[in-house]
Amino acid sequence: MAGRWFRALIAAGVVAFVGGVVTFLVLRPDGGADDASDFAALGLAVFIVGLLVFAIRVCAQNYRVNRHLQAVASSKAAALSTFRRLVSSVEEGEVRSAVALALAQAVFATEETGLVDSAGDHVTLVERAVVPRLGGGGAS
């Protein structure tokens, strides 16, 4: 599934680039005119390019999420495939319980793969740019 989103991301990038160029060429104002229709055309062009960039963001985020889910699933599958062998290879009861507990935690624990950062997914670009500057400006 991640491969499909990666191909969609590539296609969205190409469409956004070509669509942006075509949009600004088609909606380009006539030489030197400063009337309201030129500003409306510029606003429409910015809106269209914004939609194309949003499509790129959606594809990129879905690609990252699917890569994260693939990594988590393969890690859990590896833990489950070795569970029975590792638990049955230990003779002592306490050690067997500790091994079973560690393997169960590997299967059911939430893993950090580095592909998805849950802390920053809802933060806007403005907040990322402005908040660090506000914190640094108050200290001086």
* Average of per-residue pLDDT across 75-88: 76
Half-sphere exposure at residue 28, Cβ-oriented, CA atoms within 13 angstroms: 9
CA distance 22 to 18: 6
pLDDT at 125 over 60: no
Looking at per-residue confidence, does 99 or 124 come out higher?
A: 99
* Average of per-residue pLDDT across 121-130: 58
pLDDT at position 33: 60
Closest by alpha carbon to 59, among 18, 113, 121, 7? Answer: 7
CA distance 79 to 106: 7
pLDDT tens, residue by residue, 36-76 = 777 777 788 888 888 888 888 888 888 888 888 888 888 88
Q: Where are the domains of the chain?
A: 2-112
CA distance 89 to 98: 13
pLDDT at position 131: 61
Q: Quick one: pLDDT band at residue 139, thresholds 50, 70, 90?
A: very low
Widest pairwise Cα distance in the chain? 87
pLDDT tens, residue by residue, 16-26 = 889 888 888 88
* Average of per-residue pLDDT across 99-113: 73
Q: Quick one: pLDDT band at residue 104, thresholds 50, 70, 90?
A: confident
Looking at per-residue confidence, does 10 or 114 come out higher?
A: 10
In eight-state DSSP terms, residue 34 is -
pLDDT at 134 over 80: no
